[in-house]
Copies of this chain bind each other. A is one copy, B any other.
Amino acid sequence: MAERDDDVALSLAELFALARKVLVHHGVSAAHADAIARVITQGQRDECHSHGLYRLPGCVRSVRSGKVDPHAQPMLRDVAPGVLAVDAHYGFSLLAFETGLPVLAEKARAQGIAAMAINRCFHFSALWPEVEAIAALGLVGLAMNPSHSWVAPAGGTRGVFGTNPIAFAWPRAKGHPFVFDFATSAIARGDIELHARDGKPIPPHWAIDRDGQPTTDARAALEGAMQTFGGHKGSALAAMVELLAGALIGDLTSMESQAFDDGAGASPCHGELVIAIDPTRFSGAEEEVGQARAERLFEAIVDQGARLPSQRRFEARERSERDGVRVPRKLYNDVMKLFD
């Protein structure tokens, strides 16, 4: 660990060890602490700062709230040849995902396509680490989950949907997979909170006020509701996430998840749907033809100066794997205070 300016420089191993130590200090089981520290390290490594070390205090707060079981053991249930259910037993989602992944992959290879329902989990992480883990096994991954009902349907005035992210990964023969992971809300709720704190106006497509009118006033937005991205199309996708990763899998919608939290301020508790597809089962011996087709598509995008999704993240990853990461002094101090 070296210091320079106001940042704290950490290797990825040091970062992982620090996050893990904080979690264990707060009574999180070794298995959960490993899983959580891994994705926090991945977030910081990829310079997705809101999913890096920054998440640790909220994670600890969720444990302290008493809602999360920091020792919960995920239980797998074989529901159908193509469907696996993982009951997280009110633990964090990540260990449930890691525990279910090998069985999901086995089912995808056997059936061609398979789904994993993760139930009763507390969720605070991005979905890209999960779809990337699926792609690392040579499979196509798709994942989605509800959250808390901060987002209004198109044409509406009140929150019904969560920020409802959708993530997708396509495995590539060489290098990083093609990956995207985006909220179906126009923006993250944290961005509106930051604008409210700083007294800055927000763009009119981010949110509506209590009367359902688009607003540039961040405080009015927090009292109203966020909007989806892309108008009625984004709104339709947000509804799909509620149906597939809520109603279909026997778990809470974003409205129900918010009611369940009951103001405790823990990470949202709900379910998650993960789908894995084995490309070799679709096109057999011709899978390489499909891979080559995908590569020509990516070339046509990159050759005209457009970016693939996650491209910035992968560039950051290469830097961090070489040089380690730099954590702002204030954040580092906040994390160290978690040992008090």
Contact with B along A167-209 (1 / 0, CB 8 A): 0101000000010101010000000000000000000000000
Is A102's CB within 8 Å of the partner chain B? no
Give chain A interface residues in 220-254, CB to chain B under 8 Å.
229-236, 239-240, 242-244, 246-250, 253
B178 touches A243 (CB 8 A): yes
Is A301's CB within 8 Å of the partner chain B? yes
Once bound together, how far apart are the Cα atoms of A232 and B170, in whole Å? 17
B83 touches A281 (CB 8 A): yes
Once bound together, how far apart are the Cα atoms of A246 and B295, in whole Å? 12
A80 touches B112 (CB 8 A): yes
Q: Chain B contacts of A255 at CB under 8 A?
A: 296-297, 300
Is A275's CB within 8 Å of the partner chain B? yes
B282 touches A250 (CB 8 A): yes
CB distance from A182 to the nearest CB of B (A): 5
Give chain A interface residues in 283-309, CB to chain B under 8 Å.
283-284, 286, 289-291, 293-294, 296-297, 300-301, 304-307, 309
B239 touches A229 (CB 8 A): no
A306 touches B155 (CB 8 A): yes
Contact with B along A329-340 (1 / 0, CB 8 A): 000000000000
CB-based nearest B residue for A244: B140
A112 touches B304 (CB 8 A): no
Contact with B along A155-166 (1 / 0, CB 8 A): 111101000000
A155 touches B305 (CB 8 A): yes
Once bound together, how far apart are the Cα atoms of A235 and B236, in whole Å? 16
CB distance from A25 to the nearest CB of B (A): 38
- Contacts A247-B291, A306-B155 known; A182 to B236 CB distance under 8 Å? yes
- Contacts A140-B248, A297-B243 known; A304 to B253 CB distance under 8 Å? no
A282 touches B232 (CB 8 A): no
> Can you list 5 pairs linking A and B with CB atoms under 8 Å apart?
A79-B281, A83-B282, A153-B306, A178-B243, A248-B277
Q: Which 9 A-B pairs have the closest CB atoms?
A: A230-B230, A80-B112, A83-B112, A156-B306, A82-B111, A180-B236, A250-B283, A155-B306, A247-B294
